[in-house]
Structure formats: structure tokens, C-alpha cells
Amino acid sequence: MIDRPKHIPGRVQAAHEISKQFSFEMACKDRTGALLRTLAATKPGGQILELGTGTGVGTAWILDGMDSSAHLITVDRDKDTSDLARQVVGEDARVDLIVADVASWLKEYDGAPFDMVFVDTWRGKFIDRAELLRRLAPGGIYFGDDLLPQPTWDPEQPALVDSFLREIVEDSDLAVTMMNWSSGLVLAAKQK
């Protein structure tokens, strides 16, 4: 079975080039991205959130799966990488690229609940997960990556991942599937 995407969208290719050019090593993997595209396609007209924009690789995959009436908010604290992602996104009116501290932004957000969230940073995964899950609509998808050891991990990350893996499967509000695939993934749906 071939489990690598056959088609890499142009925006994704552009984001990969920018990532290489600026030595950004934490970009979303293509297998993860292909799954993101598919998940986004299940939410026509959906409100989608990405935490951890980076250089926009995951953002580009999500946009490729979204329909014309869906909306994506992507949040990252790093202005420099967000500026790079802005080059990838261009003038796409379906996305709002926000530079902010994720924890502060989550606490202040008072908009519609999210139909899907992609968590590609510590906030919303290891920290502030309950805050994020309160903003996930019933039936909403929670998707996170980087749960298998990565060369970019901080020394404390293995312990955080171990705690996260124990806690998320015990959350009675979620139907959770762990995947030992790509960078290590969690896919969950909010049941209540």
C-alpha cells in the first residue's frame, strides 16, 4: 500500500521551499498534511482552527481540503514564521493568520465553536487542552501531531508526550484514536 500523497498542492510545495530556505525543521509532514486535507473536507462551511502556523505547511494542506464557505483561523506567536506563512496563504479570504500568544488568544476567543482543530504546538496539546476543548463543537475533530520522537524535541517533551497520551485516552468526552504513523498522531471526536 502506498501511504504517501500522490499529489502535493502548489501551496504546500511553496511552504516546503520556504521552510528549507529558512531552515525551519518543524513543518507538518506530508502524510499528516494529506490527512488534514481529508479531515478539512469533511467540514463544509466549517470553522477550523490551527494552533502553530509555523511556515504554513499544515495551513496549506487544510486550505486545500476546505470548501469555499469554510473558515480557518491559524495562530502562532512567532511573527517571523507567520510572515513566511503569509506568503504561502496569499490573499485567500478563507483564512485569518493571527500572531499572538496561543494561551492568551484561547482565553480571549469568544467566537463560534470550532468544527475541527489541528494542534501543532504545545498549547492545546500539553498545556491549555481543556481551554481548547471547551471551544470544540460537539462532533468536532481534535487532531494533533508530533507524538513520536522528533529531532526537534526539547528535553522535557518525552515526559509531556507520555502524560498527554495517558490523559487524552481517559477523556470521557472524546472518542480517541492514536496512530503510530507519520510523526505520531492523535485523532479524536468530541462526543458531548
Is 149 domain-assigned? yes
- 139, amino acid identity: G
Is 20 domain-assigned? no
Question: Based on the structure, what is the number of domains in the chain?
Answer: 1
Quote the percentage of the chain above a pLDDT of 90. 86
Is 94 domain-assigned? yes
What would the pLDDT profile of 120-142 be if each residue is shown by its tens digit?
998 999 999 999 999 999 999 99
Q: Is residue 114 predicted with pLDDT exceeding 80?
A: yes
Please give the pLDDT value at position 27.
83
Q: Is residue 192 predicted with pLDDT exceeding 80?
A: no
Is 7 domain-assigned? no
Its domain, for residue 100, covers 29-190
Q: Is residue 171 predicted with pLDDT exceeding 90?
A: yes
Helix ranges restricted to H, 42-156 = 57-65, 79-89, 102-108, 129-133
pTM here is 0.94
Is 4 domain-assigned? no
Closest CA to 48 of 119, 124, 136, 114: 114
Give the torsion sign (CA, 134, 135, 139, 144).
Answer: negative
Q: How confident is the model at residue 45 (pLDDT cuts 50, 70, 90)?
A: very high
Closest CA to 109 of 157, 174, 30, 47: 47
Give the torsion sign (CA, 176, 7, 78, 181).
Answer: positive
Is 56 domain-assigned? yes
Is 5 domain-assigned? no
d(CA 132, CA 167): 15
Is 123 domain-assigned? yes
Please give the pLDDT value at position 2.
75
| CATH number assigned to the domain comprising residue 148 | 3.40.50.150
Give residues with Cβ within 8 angstroms of 62, minimum separation 6: 36, 37, 40, 48, 50, 72, 118
